[in-house]
């Protein structure tokens, strides 16, 4: 089992990934639901950071600094920085406030200075709003957004033919790295006879809402 499928098994064990019938923001009935907010204790966050670090290393994307957009990206960037340091790469990280501070050091960015190539760390990309705001903050600091890393790419169309991930890649010319994606989920389900019913439901959903394979 590769680390991506290990991550899916981990998400299932933490009840972050669940199967059933769930209504998405787009009004679709999805056979699975992923809520990264349920990685909510020390042990699971520690392991989650290791998965992010492995995905980053595996991607080969060059970077100098990590950036975690408020709010969900803040702990994710922190635990990823710890995991990278444990693996021998000590990496600075920073995050933003939702509102600029008007006293003390001021500003809306906390942590290491945004410099060089900055990798955005977040949980998922739904509408892409968080990544777009992050890109603006990074560029305003004179740094270069070099990519984004998320936990799961649903590989699902938005209002058009592209997914939110593909739209971010198209609009900003940066890669989006996922710890796991729908292909990995389908591979995991195929190898697990006890999830056979879920495999069929996810495959049907993908046929209806999945992105085109040739993009």
What is the per-residue pLDDT across 119-128, written as a single tens digit (0 to 9) for each?
999 999 987 8
| Token pair listed for 209 | 């809402």
Task: Tell me, yes or no, if 190 is annotated catalytic.
Answer: no
Residue 106 has pLDDT above 80, yes or no: no
In a domain, 215, yes or no: no
Which residues form the domain of 173?
A: 3-209
CATH number, residue 21: 3.40.50.2020
- Report the b/e string of 146-178 with b at 16+ CB within 10 A: bbbbbbbbbbbbbeeebbbbbbbbeebebbbbb
Using 50, 70 and 90 to split pLDDT, how confident is the model at 105?
low
Give which of 59, 56, 172, 166 is closest to 122, Cα–Cα.
56
Share of the chain above pLDDT 90, in %: 84
In a domain, 20, yes or no: yes
In a domain, 214, yes or no: no
Which residue among the candidates 23, 101, 190, 196 is catalytic per the annotation? 101
Give which of 184, 211, 163 is closest to 55, Cα–Cα.
184
The 3-state DSSP class for residue 132 equals helix
The model carries a pTM of: 0.93
Task: Tell me, yes or no, if 103 is annotated catalytic.
Answer: yes
Beta bridge partners of 145: 118
How many domains does one find in the chain?
1
Which residue among the candidates 23, 98, 103, 190 is catalytic per the annotation? 103
Average pLDDT of span 93-121: 83
């Amino acid at each position: 089992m590769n680390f991506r499928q290990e991550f899916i098994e981990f998400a299932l064990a933490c009840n972050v990934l669940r199967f059933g019938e769930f209504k998405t923001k787009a009004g679709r009935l999805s056979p699975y639901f992923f809520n990264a907010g349920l990685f909510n204790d020390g042990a699971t966050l520690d392991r989650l950071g290791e998965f992010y670090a492995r995905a980053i290393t595996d991607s080969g994307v060059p970077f100098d600094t990590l950036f975690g957009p408020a709010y969900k990206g803040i702990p994710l960037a922190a635990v990823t920085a710890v995991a990278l340091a444990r693996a021998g790469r000590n990496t600075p990280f920073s995050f933003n406030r939702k509102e600029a501070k008007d006293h003390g050091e001021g500003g809306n960015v906390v942590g290491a200075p945004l410099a060089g190539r900055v990798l955005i760390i977040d949980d998922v990309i739904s509408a892409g709003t968080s990544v777009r705001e992050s890109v603006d903050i990074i560029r305003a600091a004179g740094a270069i957004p070099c990519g984004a890393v998320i936990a799961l790419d649903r590989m699902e169309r938005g209002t058009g033919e592209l997914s939110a991930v593909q739209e971010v890649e198209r609009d900003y010319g940066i890669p989006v790295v996922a710890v796991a994606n729908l292909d990995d989920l389908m591979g995991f389900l195929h190898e697990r006879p006890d999830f056979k019913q879920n495999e069929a439901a996810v495959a049907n959903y993908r046929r209806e809402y999945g992105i085109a394979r040739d993009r």
